[in-house]
Structure 1
Amino acid sequence: MPDRLTQPLLWSGMLFNLVQGCTPMHDAVIGATLGYLSLWLINAIYQHGSSRELARVILSC
């Protein structure tokens, strides 16, 4: 998902948690950080794999 979508959702979720007090704020920050980093890691692995595949196709020509 593009950052222009995820950033407003992230901050609106943090603001909602701050107002409603669903969980302690440090837990919310840790959860948001781990969630964002896990999606970033999946994207990085995918990008690395697809670039290697592209290089293999180019070199086989």
Structure 2
Amino acid sequence: MPVDYIKVNKDVLREMKHLHKTINNQKSLITLLEARIKYLEQELKKQELINDLLERVIQEC
């Protein structure tokens, strides 16, 4: 019987390590996605400024 407990504990420990690794990977992915969103928001602002300038130039012509 104690052998079964040891096996179960090892299996649980292995699964916990796997879950911990998965959680850390997910956190890293979230961090990367947040950085990408921030970058894309900045690019969108730049594009909006360019569009506004182009509209002004077109209106003045």
Query: Following the alignment from structure 1 to structure 2, what is the Cα–Cα distance between the partners of residues 49 and 24?
Result: 37
State the TM-score, normalized to the length of structure 2.
0.60
Q: Which has the higher contact order (CA 8 A, sep 6+)?
A: 1
Number of residues paired by the alignment? 40
State the TM-score, normalized to the length of structure 1.
0.60
| 1:27 equivalenced with 2:4 (yes/no) | no
Aligned to 1:3: none
Query: Following the alignment from structure 2 to structure 1, what is the Cα–Cα distance between the partners of residues 12 and 6?
Result: 10
Cα deviation, residue 24, structure 1: 1.2
SS of structure 2 residue aligned to 1:60:
helix
Q: Equivalent of 1:51, from 33, 46, 49? A: 33
Q: CA RMSD in A?
A: 1.6
Query: Following the alignment from structure 2 to structure 1, what is the Cα–Cα distance between the partners of residues 27 and 38?
Result: 17
Aligned residue type for 2:41: L
Give ranges in structure 1 of 5+ residues lacking alignment. 1-20
